[in-house]
């Protein structure tokens, strides 16, 4: 049984080191992408402070399609280049959005969201999708979040089979 109650740490680094350790454990000897993405979204949703949505969009037929997530029901399809997710997918660069209301073309899914971070997922130079995390707090995400969430995404890309 997974214990969620001991995730309070003094620094983001300690928090994310623990997240990465737990993510390794959850994906140990399991390479099914849907199973692993579902468990990682639950791990993040129940441990990260001040967030209201965590999930994956997967690249399919030239658009992003909603994948495993935790939070309120969300928009299903996002065009490449549209919204924060589509921008991360197109540029293949992490998007840190301190205030979504200032981001032109932001796609609102949960009205509680005020800031957002989106990390592109790329394997062998091919776009796989994005990891999207929303917060009700303005300016919730910084470069440390970006650094460690990119490490987490690298772990995920190494841990799953993407050709199935
Ligand atoms: N806000 C995102 C859409 C996805 S939801 O936040 C879950 C965007 O602008 O791409």
Provide the token pair at 3: 């214990």
74-100 average pLDDT score:
98
Q: Is the residue at 64 inside a domain? A: yes
User: pLDDT > 70: what percent of the chain?
Assistant: 99
Pairing of strands 63-71, 53-60: antiparallel
The structural domain count of the chain equals 1
126-162 residue pLDDT tens: 999 999 999 999 999 999 999 999 999 999 999 999 9
Tell me which residue range forms the domain holding 48.
12-159
Mutate to test the pocket of ligand 1, among 75, 80, 105 (most ligand atoms within 8 A of CB): 75
Is residue 83 within 6 Å of ligand 1 at its C-beta? yes
Mark residue 105 as left, alpha or beta (left: phi above 0; alpha: psi -120 to 50; beta: remaining): left
36-47 average pLDDT score:
98
Q: Is the residue at 131 inside a domain? A: yes
Q: Is the residue at 150 inside a domain? A: yes
96-124 average pLDDT score:
97
Is residue 53 within 6 Å of ligand 1 at its C-beta? yes
Q: What is the pLDDT of residue 5?
A: 66
Is residue 109 within 6 Å of ligand 1 at its C-beta? yes
Is residue 84 within 6 Å of ligand 1 at its C-beta? yes
Q: Is the residue at 84 inside a domain? A: yes
Q: Is the residue at 89 inside a domain? A: yes
**pTM more than 0.95:** yes
Q: Is the residue at 62 inside a domain? A: yes
Q: What is the pLDDT of residue 9?
A: 82
86-115 average pLDDT score:
97
Handedness of CA 145, 150, 164, 159 (dihedral sign): negative
CATH number, residue 27: 3.30.450.40
Residue 122 near residue 158 (C-beta atoms within 8 A): no
Ligand 1, closest atom to CA 108?
1
Q: What is the pLDDT of residue 164?
A: 75
């Amino acid at each position: 049984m997974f214990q969620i109650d001991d995730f309070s740490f003094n620094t983001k680094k300690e928090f994310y080191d623990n997240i990465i350790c737990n993510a390794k454990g959850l994906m140990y000897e399991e390479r099914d992408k849907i199973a692993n993405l579902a468990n990682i979204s639950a791990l993040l949703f129940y441990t990260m402070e001040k967030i209201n949505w965590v999930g994956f969009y997967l690249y399919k037929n030239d658009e992003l399609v909603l994948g495993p997530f935790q939070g309120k029901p969300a928009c299903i399809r996002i065009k490449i280049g549209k919204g924060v997710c589509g921008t991360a997918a197109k540029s293949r660069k992490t998007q840190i959005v301190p205030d979504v209301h200032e981001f032109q073309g932001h796609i609102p899914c949960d009205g509680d969201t005020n800031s957002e971070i989106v990390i592109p997922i790329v394997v062998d130079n091919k776009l796989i999708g994005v990891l999207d995390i929303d917060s009700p707090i303005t300016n919730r995400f910084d470069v440390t979040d970006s650094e460690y969430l990119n490490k987490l995404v690298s772990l995920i890309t190494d841990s799953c089979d993407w050709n199935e």
